[in-house]
Amino acid sequence: MALPTNQQVKRAMVDYARRQRPPIKVGPGLNAGSNKWGPAARTLAWRITRRVKDVKTTTRKTPELCRLVGFKVVPIIIEHDWKWNGSLGKRAGNPPFIVVHNQAGTGPPEAIHAYHKSLGWLGIAYHYVVRLDGSVHRGRPEWAMGGHTAHYGNTIGVMFEGNYDLRRTMPRPQREAGLALIADLKRRYKVPVRGHREMPLNYTSCPGKHFPLAAMKGV
Ligand SMILES: [Zn+2]
């Protein structure tokens, strides 16, 4: 992830304060208790002072904080040299949705690619795989049609490792990486997020009842 420095986070806080009407005067350091801060800034300052002693350490751990201060957090994508079973189809125009899935199991993207090929498909059906450890892998290129949602091959498919019908909470690295990836996709395509089960004519529980769907939609 491209994370800001301590100095950049502080500057963003100061910019935020200046943008308020009337502007908030900011002295050296942030006082979380000051009622001159609006509720959003107060929450942010509270989070910074409460969770961390050093902002730099915090932002490394919590890209969420970067989003709060308005930084673009772009996840590092791990590229794979996939060999496809034929040519990928090109999507015509903008994708209508970003569709999130769960794997309903665990395992590396290589295994998914091999499995999807064994089904007679072109190869891994998703555009992105977000693993439990927070690593983000490219499946199909974004320009290509997906194979992850029936009747909606023109959507961008993001798959999360794990079975979220059984697994109650998403590990923090996976959640943060997923939020950063989806925030980046939403910024670029300006389309909403849907759970696989919400797509018409797709009869599935995917991405699982414990999947943090509201968080992914709201990022
Ligand atoms: Zn699915």
**Model confidence over 37-50: pLDDT tens digits?**
455 554 555 454 44
Phi, psi of 173 (to 5 degrees): -60, -40
Question: What is the distance in A from the centroid of ligand 1 to the CA of 115?
Answer: 15
Question: What is the distance in A from the centroid of ligand 1 to the CA of 123?
Answer: 16
**Model confidence over 10-43: pLDDT tens digits?**
666 666 666 666 665 555 444 444 445 455 554 5
- Which domain does 118 fall in, by range? 77-218
One domain for residues 11 and 86: no
One domain for residues 59 and 107: no
**Model confidence over 94-133: pLDDT tens digits?**
999 999 999 999 999 999 999 999 999 999 999 999 999 8
Of 21, 47, 68, the last residue of a domain is 68
Cα dihedral angle (46, 17, 71, 61), rounded to 10 degrees? -20
pLDDT at residue 205 greater than cutoff 80: yes
Q: What pLDDT, on a 0 to 100 scale, did the predictor assign at position 164?
A: 98
Question: What is the distance in A from the centroid of ligand 1 to the CA of 216?
Answer: 15
CB atoms within 10 A of CB 198: 16
18 falls within a domain: yes
pTM of the model: 0.72
